[in-house]
Amino acid sequence: MNIRELINDSSQVEVLSDNFAVEHNYTGKYADLSSEKEAEMVSMMSDRPWREVIADSFQDHSPWLYKIITDTGRSLFLDVLDIPKNGLHLDVGSGWGQVCIPLGRYGKSVALDLTYNRLNILKSIANQESVSLQYVQGNFLSFPFNENIFDTIIFNGSLEWIGVGREEGTSIRDVQIEALKKANRLLKPDGLVYIGIENSLGLKYILGAEDDHTGLIHHTFLGEKQAEANFQTNTTGKQLPSKTWSLEEYKDMIAESGLELERVYGCFPDYKLIRHMVDLRLINEELKKGLLSLEHIGTNGQSYGKNHELNEIYKLLAKNKVAEKFCPSYGFIIRKRG
């Protein structure tokens, strides 16, 4: 596939090659490394195995980032999806390629990211893994994709960030629903959306664990206006970059987008490094036994200091048949119908 086949307005896009396109004007940025470090890694991967470069760069100095990049649990959710072979799949916020590379083995995978150098790192990794990808730099909300072309769209750790760069005064929730509505338009009939995301009512957050995105405690379960004010107070006026929600709030957002919720999984210890994915219809029975896996702090991977308390409270929640409301993360499987 030539990347031009994905685009409905070439005036908004610069096509650099048959598999790489850059949106001219878009909002938002996201990076866990400096652009200089990313460029350095692109250079190093030109003549060294990518795993060796990643290990040398992060294993000792940033062990949590190293684990996030290399742990196979990142893409474990693909095993529960009905992904059509030889289909066209979009990974929104492709990052280090932990999802779009295995997704590319199902068919044609498109990696979309805000960062040019990150896509070049991903390109080096994909080439070494012998996986052919299409690369798009831009914002999902504004990139001019053709409609009704994708079989699968993945938001794994990206929907919470989709409001980065939004206009002042715009609700993150509204932007997230806009993104889901666009996904609905881009999907073929019966196409699939997957969302991996934290639960704002996750039990560890209620007990005082840091929010994965802001590092603030007692923050995730605040309403958006309160969360915005809390973040600005703690960051000298910066715009709130992300927002997560509770189970019922996610269900409402999905319904508002016109998509149909098919199934929900509880992800333990979280969606980032899945060890257990449990259908929410079975979650109370499973958690009667207690904690499924030790939980960690999402900002740094350190073991959460209240796992004993989590164990006992999960069992009590399960006995009361409400444990599904308090999972640390969810995996949502959603369909376009009609």
- The residues near 240 (Cβ < 8 Å, ≥ 6 apart) are 172, 214, 224, 227, 228, 231, 232
- The residues near 166 (Cβ < 8 Å, ≥ 6 apart) are 27, 28, 172, 175, 239
> What SS3 state is found at 23?
strand
Q: What is the pLDDT of residue 236?
A: 85
Q: What is the pLDDT of residue 94?
A: 96
Domain 3-273+327-335 has CATH 3.10.310.30: no
Contacts by 289-297 with C-beta closer than 8 Å and gap 24+? 289/315, 290/314, 290/315, 292/268, 293/268, 293/269, 294/269, 295/204, 295/209, 295/268, 295/269, 295/270, 295/328, 296/269, 296/270, 297/209, 297/210
Q: Report the pLDDT averaged over residues 75-86.
A: 95
Q: Report the pLDDT averaged over residues 240-249.
A: 97
- The residues near 37 (Cβ < 8 Å, ≥ 6 apart) are 57
Q: How confident is the model at residue 232 (pLDDT cuts 50, 70, 90)?
A: very high
Q: What is the pLDDT of residue 223?
A: 97
**Rounded-to-integer distance, Cα 154 and Cα 310, Å:** 30
Q: How confident is the model at residue 65 (pLDDT cuts 50, 70, 90)?
A: very high
9-51 pLDDT, tens per residue? 989 999 999 999 999 999 888 878 888 888 899 999 999 999 9
Q: Report the pLDDT averaged over residues 46-64.
A: 96
Q: Report the pLDDT averaged over residues 266-275.
A: 97
Q: Report the pLDDT averaged over residues 191-216.
A: 98
pLDDT over 90 (residue 237):
no
Instruction: Provide the percentage of residues in the chain whose pLDDT is more than 90.
Output: 93
Q: What is the pLDDT of residue 55?
A: 97
State which H helix or E strand residue 155 sits in. strand 150-156
Q: How confident is the model at residue 304 (pLDDT cuts 50, 70, 90)?
A: very high
Provide the token pair at 131: 């996986």
pLDDT over 90 (residue 62):
yes
Domain ranges for the chain? 3-273+327-335
pLDDT over 80 (residue 244):
yes
pLDDT over 80 (residue 338):
no
> What SS3 state is found at 277?
strand
Q: How confident is the model at residue 107 (pLDDT cuts 50, 70, 90)?
A: very high
Q: What is the pLDDT of residue 208?
A: 97
Instruction: Provide the percentage of residues in the chain whose pLDDT is more than 70.
Output: 100
Q: pTM for the complete prediction?
A: 0.97
Q: What is the pLDDT of residue 218?
A: 97
Q: What is the pLDDT of residue 1?
A: 78
Q: Report the pLDDT averaged over residues 157-165.
A: 95
Q: Which of 304, 324, 63, 57 is nearest to 205 (CA)?
A: 304
- Average pLDDT over all residues of the chain: 96
Provide the token pair at 323: 């444990």
Please give the single-letter amino acid code of residue 259: L
